[in-house]
Structure 1
Amino acid sequence: MDINVLESRPAGYAYLLDMMGLTGMPHWHTSFVSSSGTHRSKVQDGTIEDIYPIRYWPGEKVGDHLEFVLKYDGVNLGLLARIFEKVSQDELTEFIKSKPTGKYARRVWFFYEFLTGKQLPVDDLTSGNYVDALEAKDYYTVQNGEKSSRHRIVNNLLGPKSFCPVVRRTEKLAKLDSADLRKRCEDIVTAYPPELLRRALSYLYNKETKSSFEIEHIKPNASRTEKFITSLELAEKEDFCEKERLIELQNRIVDPRFKDSDYRVSQNYVGQTVAYQKEIIHFICPKPDDLQSLMEGLIDSHKRMKVGNVSPVIHAASIAYGFVFLHPFEDGNGRIHRFLIHNILSLQELVPRGLMFPVSAVMLKNPAAYDASLEAFSRPLLQLIDYRLDEMGQMTVENDTACWYQYMDMTAQSEALYEFVTKTIEEELVEELSFLANYDNTKKAIQDIIDMPDRLIDLFIQLCLQNNGSLSARKRSAHFDFLTDEELSAMEQAVKDGYNRPE
Structure 2
Amino acid sequence: MPKNNRFSDNVTVFRKYTLPETDMKLAGYSALIYRYDLEVPLPELLSAISEKHRRYTEGKWQVFRTVQEPDQTLLGHLTFAFRYEGIDLLILKNLFKEIEKTEIEAIVQDQPTGRNSRRIWFFYEWLIDERLDLEDAKSGNYVEALDTDLQYPGPKERSKRHRIWNNLPGNKDFCPLVRRTEKLENFSAENLESKVKDTIGKVHPDLLSRAAAFLLLKDSKASYAIEGETPPENRAERWGKAIGQAGQKDLTKDELLRLQEIVIEDRRFVDMGWRKEGGFVGIHNRVNSKPVPDHISAKWEDVPKLIDGLLNTNESLIESDYDPVLAATLIAFGFVFIHPFTDGNGRVHRYLIHHVLAKKEFAPKGLIFPVSSVILDQIDEYKEVLESYSKPRLDLIEWEATSDGNVEVLNDTIDLYRYFDATKQAEFLYECVEETVTDTLPEEVQYLERHDKMRTFISEHFDIPDKGMENLIGFLRQNDGTLSKRARTKEFEALTEDEVNMLEGKYQDIFSEGS
* TM-score bracket for this pair, using the shorter chain length: over 0.9
Uncovered stretches (5+) of structure 1, i.e. residues with no partner: none
Change (3 A) 1:285 1:420: same
Cα distance between partner residues in 2 of 1:178 and 1:117: 38
* Contact 1:247–1:260 (CA under 8 A) maintained in structure 2: no
Counterpart in the other structure of 2:280 = 269
Q: Please list, as runs of the form range in 1=range in 2, the aligned pairs for 1:169-318 lying within 5 A after superposition.
A: 169-177=180-188, 180-239=191-250, 241-257=251-267, 262-273=273-284, 275-276=286-287, 277-318=289-330
Cα distance between partner residues in 1 of 2:162 and 2:68: 29
Q: Please list, as runs of the form range in 1=range in 2, the aligned pairs for 1:41-52 lying within 5 A after superposition.
A: 41-44=56-59, 47-52=60-65
Secondary structure of the structure 2 residue equivalent to 1:388: strand
Change (3 A) 1:147 1:181: same
Counterpart in the other structure of 2:90 = 78
Q: Deviations over 1:162-211 (max 9, x none)?
A: 11111111111111338821111112112322211111111111111111
Given the alignment, which residue of 11, 22, 29 partners 1:13? Answer: 29
Q: Deviations over 1:296-349 (max 9, x none)?
A: 100011111112210001100110111111111111111111111111111111
Cα distance between partner residues in 1 of 2:445 and 2:407: 47
Counterpart in the other structure of 1:489 = 501
Counterpart in the other structure of 1:349 = 361
Cα distance between partner residues in 1 of 2:105 and 2:7: 26
TM-score (norm 2): 0.92
Question: What is the one-letter code of the residue matched to 2:438?
Answer: E
Q: Deviations over 1:442-495 (max 9, x none)?
A: 111111221210111110111121112111222222211222222222122222
Q: Please list, as runs of the form range in 1=range in 2, the aligned pairs for 1:92-241 lying within 5 A after superposition.
A: 92-143=104-155, 145-177=156-188, 180-239=191-250, 241=251
In the TM superposition, residue 293 of structure 1 has moved relative to its aligned partner by 0.7
* Contact 1:178–1:312 (CA under 8 A) maintained in structure 2: no
* Contact 2:7–2:34 (CA under 8 A) maintained in structure 1: no
Secondary structure of the structure 1 residue equivalent to 2:396: coil
Counterpart in the other structure of 1:57 = 70
In the TM superposition, residue 137 of structure 1 has moved relative to its aligned partner by 2.2
Cα distance between partner residues in 2 of 1:282 and 1:467: 42
Query: Which deviates more from structure 2 when the two are superposed, residues 291-300 or residues 367-376?
Result: 367-376
Cα distance between partner residues in 2 of 1:353 and 1:301: 23
* Contact 2:291–2:407 (CA under 8 A) maintained in structure 1: no
Secondary structure of the structure 1 residue equivalent to 2:187: coil
Given the alignment, which residue of 55, 61, 64 partners 1:40? Answer: 55
Change (3 A) 1:262 1:436: same
The reply to whether residue 440 of structure 1 matches residue 455 of structure 2 is no
Query: Which deviates more from structure 2 when the two are superposed, residues 479-488 or residues 218-227?
Result: 218-227
Uncovered stretches (5+) of structure 2, i.e. residues with no partner: 11-22
* Contact 2:86–2:147 (CA under 8 A) maintained in structure 1: no
Query: Which deviates more from structure 2 when the two are superposed, residues 134-143 or residues 454-463?
Result: 134-143
Query: Which deviates more from structure 2 when the two are superposed, residues 413-422 or residues 128-137?
Result: 128-137
The reply to whether residue 336 of structure 1 matches residue 348 of structure 2 is yes
Secondary structure of the structure 1 residue equivalent to 2:153: coil
Change (3 A) 1:205 1:394: same
Cα distance between partner residues in 2 of 1:259 and 1:281: 20
Secondary structure of the structure 1 residue equivalent to 2:240: helix
Aligned length: 495
The reply to whether residue 405 of structure 1 matches residue 421 of structure 2 is no
Question: What is the one-letter code of the residue matched to 2:457?
Answer: A
* Contact 2:154–2:322 (CA under 8 A) maintained in structure 1: yes
Q: Deviations over 1:222-275 (max 9, x none)?
A: 442232122122114223x21110101111111231666531111000002352
Cα distance between partner residues in 2 of 1:129 and 1:55: 25
Change (3 A) 1:471 1:403: same
* Contact 1:449–1:490 (CA under 8 A) maintained in structure 2: no
Q: What is the Cα-based RMSD across aligned positions, in Å?
A: 2.0
Secondary structure of the structure 2 residue equivalent to 1:33: strand
Secondary structure of the structure 2 residue equivalent to 1:256: coil
* Contact 1:62–1:92 (CA under 8 A) maintained in structure 2: no
Secondary structure of the structure 2 residue equivalent to 1:176: helix
Change (3 A) 1:184 1:55: closer
Question: What is the one-letter code of the residue matched to 2:427?
Answer: E
**Identity across matched positions, percent:** 35
